[in-house]
C-alpha cells in the first residue's frame, strides 16, 4: 500500500518542534540536502522524511519542494507553534488549518493590504479565493479523527491550576514573513482574514503542495497570542506547547493514508 512504501513529508520550522517528534521516530537515517539535514525513518507506523525548514515562507517553500520533488513524498504535515488570533483561544490550544492564507501577499495601500492569491497580479478589486483550502473529504476525516480527542493540560507551574484543558480548533491559519507582536496587527488579521492563528510558514507549504497536487496539513499549538507580549510568551511556552502539536500529528497521520 501507498502508506507503507512512500514517505510522508514532515516539516518543522524550529528545533523545539522537531524535538517534540524525534522521540517517537525510529530507524533514523540522516542525509544532507541543500544545507539542511533530512531525517528519514519510521514515525507513527509510517515511513517519513522530516526536515527542519528554518523560519519564514521561503525556507518553508524550499523545504516542501525538497520533500515533494527530491524525496517524492506523498503528502506533507507541518507541525509547530503559532500565535493565537481568535480571542476564544488561549496559549496551549491548537489549530489545524482547514484554510491557509499568505497574509503579506497582496496590494499595500494607505488603508491596508488587499489580499490576493499568491501569483495573481495584485491589481483590481481582489477576489475571495486568496486562500488554500483543504478538500472537503479531508476536512471531514480530520473532524472525525479529532472528535472526542483530549489534549493533555500544560504544566500547572506554567499556566496555573485553574485553566481549562487545551482546545482544538479546525480553522484558518495565516502565514507571513513577520513575527506578530502587536495588538493592532492581531486585530487586523482577525477582521480581514477571519484568522484563528498566525505563523510564518504554513501557507507557503500549502502553495507548494498545491503545485505538486498533494495535500498539506498544518498543525499548530499556540505559543503566544500575537499581541504586545507575544515575544515574551513565545520564549516561555514554545518548548511546553510544541509536544501538543506532535500529539495531534500522531492522531492525524491516518487521514493521509
Footprint of ligand SAH on this chain (CB under 6 A)? 13-14, 55, 81-83, 179-180, 198-201, 223-224, 226, 230, 234
What are the residue ranges of helices labelled H in 44-110? Answer: 57-65
**Is 182 among the residues known to form the active site?**
no
**Is 250 among the residues known to form the active site?**
no
Secondary structure E strands in 103-191 = 106-109, 112-115, 132-133, 168-175
Q: Are strands 46-52 and 106-109 parallel, antiparallel or unpaired?
A: unpaired
Contact 18, 52 (CB under 8 A): yes
Q: At closest approach, how far in Å is the CB of 19 from ligand SAH?
A: 13
Q: Which residue is nearest to ligand SAH (CB)?
A: 83
Q: At closest approach, how far in Å is the CB of 233 from ligand SAH?
A: 8
Helix axes 202-212, 57-65, angle to 10 degrees: 30
Q: Which is nearer to ligand SAH, 74 or 243 (CB)?
A: 243
Neighbours of 177 (CB within 10 A): 15
Active-site entry in 86, 201, 224, 233: 224
Active-site entry in 17, 52, 93, 233: 17
Q: At closest approach, how far in Å is the CB of 81 from ligand SAH?
A: 5
Q: Which is nearer to ligand SAH, 74 or 185 (CB)?
A: 185
Q: At closest approach, how far in Å is the CB of 182 from ligand SAH?
A: 9
Distance CA(151)–CA(245), nearest Å, equals 10
Q: Which is nearer to ligand SAH, 130 or 234 (CB)?
A: 234
Cell numbers standing for residue 42: 519510521
Residues marked active site are found at 17, 224
Amino acid at each position: 500500500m501507498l502508506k507503507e512504501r512512500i514517505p510522508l513529508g514532515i516539516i518543522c520550522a524550529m528545533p523545539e518542534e522537531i524535538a517534540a517528534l524525534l522521540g517517537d521516530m525510529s530507524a533514523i537515517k540522516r542525509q544532507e540536502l541543500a544545507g539542511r539535514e533530512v531525517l528519514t525513518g519510521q514515525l507513527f507506523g509510517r515511513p517519513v522524511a522530516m526536515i527542519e525548514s528554518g523560519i519564514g515562507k521561503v525556507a518553508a517553500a524550499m523545504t516542501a519542494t525538497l520533500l515533494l520533488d527530491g524525496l517524492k513524498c506523498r503528502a506533507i504535515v507541518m507541525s509547530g507553534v503559532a500565535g493565537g488570533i481568535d480571542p476564544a483561544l488561549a496559549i496551549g490550544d491548537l489549530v489545524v488549518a482547514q484554510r491557509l492564507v499568505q497574509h503579506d501577499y497582496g496590494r499595500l495601500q494607505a488603508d491596508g493590504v488587499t489580499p490576493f492569491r499568491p501569483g495573481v497580479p495584485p491589481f483590481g478589486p481582489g477576489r475571495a479565493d486568496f486562500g488554500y483550502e483543504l478538500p472537503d473529504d479531508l476536512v471531514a476525516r480530520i473532524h472525525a479523527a479529532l472528535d472526542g480527542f483530549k489534549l493533555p493540560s500544560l504544566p500547572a507551574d506554567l499556566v496555573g491550576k485553574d485553566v481549562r484543558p487545551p482546545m482544538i480548533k479546525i480553522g484558518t491559519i495565516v502565514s507571513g514573513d513577520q513575527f506578530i507582536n502587536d495588538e493592532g496587527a492581531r486585530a487586523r488579521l482577525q477582521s480581514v482574514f477571519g484568522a484563528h492563528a498566525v505563523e510564518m510558514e504554513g501557507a507557503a507549504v500549502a502553495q507548494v503542495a498545491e503545485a505538486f497536487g498533494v495535500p498539506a496539513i498544518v498543525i499548530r499549538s499556540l505559543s503566544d497570542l500575537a499581541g504586545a507580549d507575544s515575544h515574551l510568551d513565545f520564549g516561555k511556552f514554545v518548548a511546553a506547547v510544541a509536544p501538543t502539536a506532535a500529539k495531534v500529528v500522531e492522531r492525524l497521520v491516518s487521514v493521509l493514508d
